[in-house]
Amino acid sequence: MKRLQDLKESGGKAFVAYIMAGDGGLSRLSEQVQYLQETGVTAIEIGIPFSDPVADGPTIEAAGNRALKEGVTLQKVLDEMKNWTFEVKIPLLIMTYLNPVLRVGVEHFVKECKKAGVSGLIIPDLPYEHRELVEPFAKKEAIALVQLVTLTTTEERLEAILNEAEGFVYAVTVKGITGARDEMSGDVQAFMRRVRDKSPVPVYAGFGISKAQHVELLREDVDGFIVGSAIVQAFQDGTIREIEPLIQAVTALNPV
Amino acid sequence: MTRVKICGLKEVQHIEAAKGADAIGFVFAPSKRRVSIEQAAELAQHVPISTDKIGVFVNASLEEIEETVEKVPLTMVQLHGDEPDELVEAIGVPVIQAFSIRSKEDVEKLERSKADFILVDAPGTDYRGGSGKVFDWSLLEGAQVDASRLILAGGLNPANVRAAIGQTNPHMVDVSSGVETDGRKDAVKIQEFIKQAKGGSMQQAVEKIGFFGKYGGQFVPETLMKAVKELEEAYAEAKRDPEFINEYHHYLSEYVGREQPLTYAKRLTEAWGGPKVYLKREDLNHTGAHKINNALGQALLAMRMGKRKIVAETGAGQHGVATATVCALFDLECVIFMGEEDIKRQQLNVFRMKLLGARVESVTKGSSTLKDAVNEALRYWVTNVEDTHYLIGSALGPHPFPTMVRDFQSVIGEETKRQIVAHEGRLPDTVLACIGGGSNAIGIFYPFIGDESVRLIGVEASGEGLHTEKHAATMAKGTEGVLHGAFMKLLQDEAGQVLEAHSISAGLDYPGVGPEHSHLADIGRVEYVSITDAEALDAVVTFSRLEGIIPALESAHAIAQAEKTAKDMKPDELMVICVSGRGDKDMATYAERLEGLS
């Protein structure tokens, strides 16, 4: 995760891709990760399907349901990753709801993540108040527990969360669930600036980023972008090459 | 943000007092505060899931430590002896290593520790471990220990803890004797210590209230945290405002038609030949079930918070109807999410909601029942959180919902208690209620929880049988997990995916039970049993014909169990059944399933 900090310091912008593990079968995961890595993304979030994904919109939920039908589980994803023989050159994160983690055991989960080469965790239904459930275990394996902040996060909470932020801060750009959108609310820029001013780690905008114009709008106010639904949909439709311009829009000016 | 550990706890009441702490410690080494593995495991049931449970050991073997970690279970281990680095590194959970500090040389020793956290303490006296003596905190100045690894102990108390934090800015402060009176833990001092340690920080606002034992919490996306916190504050304040309470009771009496009778069921009593049976008549409420007690309370609270849009989920449609009703009454905008499967089963209620002016959204995801309707309602709330209140229908969801719903439903139990004493001059021997999420049950049970002579029985739905996969018997078949914002008991598979529940009764068709019920089950205060679809249908017929009351399918589960329980009771004993709703909404199911009834 240190390279994310380095990228920020060199003035570059990060492109973080989200994919749903096992959408189209678990065997596709390695080719998807390799493809994205070759295309120049900065980091990859590997989503774990869950039966009740309340923070996700229809695109990611549908992808999760397809993955569940394939019998994909948290453990299977980690086992798959442990067997990869290709070189992973960028940080990989696991994004999962809390319940599958509790089910396999937090300590076991974190150790398995370490073995699978995971360097960060995002757990959308584990708020700051309950981070103790996971954080001490993650810390022991030097895995970052990435926190989310949103437009509804109060000033006091924001400071507390940023104070302990690790890896990067996931700044949610919308009041709502994941999913591609046409419009961005006007107060997003101000919010991003506020978060970035206070954050000791890079600030990435996520939820609803699907177009180059979103990137242009926020480019100066964030350290990177997280793109989920648009990528998940493109993999599903077989049109992933059409995402490349979006990745370029973010990373083209980065120092090599 | 310094965390707080309260160490050496031996009693449930002190665990409860320490709920605002981030960690609690059990001492397994020789000490007056020593507990056995079994005692610690029992106490651990009362610790919120997100609080660390730390075991304190002195020169124990790896096997002993591992066994204790597994059985309690512990989330961290604290070592107070001369444990070698190999042991420290072999322990699976995060480790705290304690050092007594007398001089600068001692500080160097702790700098070399392999443990995740370093605890500094005053030198031990009668036994290894904390002595309660204050050490010279200034010794730590300039030590090569990252403050994020440092745990401060030794002579801390409510009066000096702020100063200690100010001087060393440690990861955690640890107290034991500083919160005792005459050698025993003191609940008031524990709370005062936590308050002082957290003084001024936002942590004060996030005390671990909202837990029932280890169950509960606020496991929701960050977008909802502000709304959940606001609701928590608004409810805490409303609860203490006599005007709010009066208004709530005014509508209960003038609009819902309370109080409802506690009807003596003469023919049922004779037919069963057991105890004297009384029926708590929630079926007589306006809209036909207990759901309106809660809908009314939450709608009043929403308006008090300035929110005029309501979103709700519904299973059987009773909560949806109750919500649509109060929204019509108070001119609130109303959207109800309902599973497609339930819409089919409860056509009449769907039309009722529409007639009342609500928008009914069909949910076609997952099992298309209550669980999925809650998911959609939560998503809607996430997206419209600024002006919308989520009027949850059962004792589920993130804090404060389980507490709030229970409080609004407790009117059932409060009336029952008054009425049975008026009728019989004493408390009942047994109270039964059906359980899906558990709102009518917690409502009638809650005022009796402290009355140990009263046997409380919750009846869940075993659908086509516990041996099949088609049931909703979470207590019988479930395990712990997080769903819809709370840590509770759930029906889930090995991978932590939530399973679909099944019951003929749409209102019991939920794969979890609320956090308070989960706790009451663990501590054995309430017994939970289950009744099949077929048994419930039989009870519908019996009850209709003996008492002239056609019960809701949900309530029929409690009635069916009552008949079984009555067999082991004597004629001088008293039984109360909560008839949570009437059967009008189930008439299509009854007509279909009881076809050919003679």
| Complex prediction ipTM | 0.94
Provide the CA A102 distance to its chain's centre, in angstroms: 20
Res B491: pLDDT: 97
Q: How far is B305 from chain A (nearest CA, A)?
A: 16
For every residue of B135-158, DSSP letters joined together read: --GGGGTT-S--GGGEEE-SS--T
Give me the catalytic one of B291, B307, B371, B417.
B291
B270 is an active site residue: no
Which of B223, B399, B499 should we substitute to test contact with A (largest number of A Cβ atoms within 10 Å)? B223
Q: Is B313 a catalytic residue?
A: yes
Residues 351-370 of B with CB under 8 A from A: 365-366
Q: Do A136 and B76 make contact, defined as CB atoms within 8 angstroms?
A: yes
Instruction: Choose among B94, B222, B498: nearest Cβ to A150.
Output: B222
Amino acid B41: pLDDT? 93
Q: What is the per-residue pLDDT for B141?
A: 66
Q: Report the gap between the CA of B8 and the closest CA in chain A (Å).
A: 20
Among chain A residues, CA nearest to B499: A51
CB contact under 8 A, A136 and B116: yes
What is the per-residue pLDDT for B532? 98
Q: Which of residues 134-163 of B touch A (CB under 8 A)?
A: none
Residue of B307, B371, B580, B585 with catalytic role = B580
Measuring CA to CA, which residue among B213, B192, B482, B56 is closest to residue A130? B482
Alpha carbons A23 and A31: distance in angstroms, whole number: 12
In this structure, the strands spanning B526-532 and B276-281 are unpaired
Residues of B in contact with A53 (CB under 8 A): 375
Q: Which residues of B touch A55 (CB under 8 A)?
A: 221, 223, 382
Cα-atom radius of gyration of chain A, to the nearest Å?
Answer: 17
Q: Is B492 on the interface with A (CB under 8 A)?
A: yes
Contacts of B432 (CB under 8 A, 6+ apart): B457, B458, B459, B558, B561, B562, B565, B575, B576, B577, B578
Percent helix, strand, coil in chain B (nearest 5)? 45, 20, 35
Q: Which residues of chain A have pLDDT under 70?
A: 176, 180-186, 256
Judging contacts by C-beta atoms under 8 Å, the chain A residues touching residue B496 are 50, 74, 99-104
* Predicted pLDDT of residue B201: 46
Cα dihedral B77, B80, B81, B86 sign: positive
Q: Is B309 on the interface with A (CB under 8 A)?
A: no
Integer Cα distance of B121 and A26 in angstroms: 51
Interface check B209 vs A, CB under 8 A: no
Q: What are phi and psi of A168, to 5 degrees?
A: -150, 170
- Tokens 């204050």 locate to B134
In order, the DSSP letters of B204-243 are: GGG-S-SEETTEE-----HHHHHHHHHHHHHHHHHHT-HH
Distances in Å between the alpha carbon of A163 and those of A160, A169, B2, B145?
5, 11, 12, 19
- Centroid of chain to Cα B539: 30
Min Cα–Cα distance to chain A from B552, Å: 29
Beta strands in B439-588 (DSSP E): 455-463, 479-483, 486-490, 512-513, 526-532, 574-579
Q: How far apart are CA A67 and CA B127, in angstroms?
A: 56
Long-range contacts of B521-524 (CB under 8 A, 24+ apart): B521/B475, B521/B489, B522/B45, B522/B213, B523/B45, B523/B213
Structure tokens at B110: 């702790």
195-214 in chain A: CB under 8 A from chain B: none
Lookup: tokens for B549: 């009351």
A125·B482 Cβ contact <8 A: yes
Interface check for B52 against chain A (CB to CB < 8 A): the answer is yes
pLDDT for the residue numbered B107? 78
Question: Touching check for B484 and chain A: CB below 8 Å?
Answer: yes
- Look up B580 and say whether it is catalytic: yes
Q: What is the pLDDT along chain B (598 residues), one digit of tens a residue?
A: 688 999 999 999 999 889 888 899 999 999 899 999 999 999 999 998 888 999 999 999 999 999 999 999 999 999 998 899 999 999 989 999 998 877 777 777 888 888 999 898 765 443 344 444 555 666 666 677 777 788 988 888 888 888 778 777 788 999 999 999 998 999 989 988 888 887 644 333 334 568 998 999 999 999 899 899 999 999 999 998 999 999 999 999 999 999 999 999 999 999 999 999 999 999 999 999 999 999 999 999 999 999 999 999 998 899 999 999 999 999 999 999 999 988 987 888 999 999 999 999 999 987 788 889 999 999 899 889 889 999 999 999 999 999 999 999 999 999 999 999 999 999 999 999 999 999 999 999 999 999 999 999 999 999 999 999 999 999 999 999 999 999 999 999 999 999 999 999 988 989 999 999 999 999 999 999 999 999 999 999 999 999 999 999 999 999 999 999 999 999 999 999 999 999 999 998 999 999 888 7
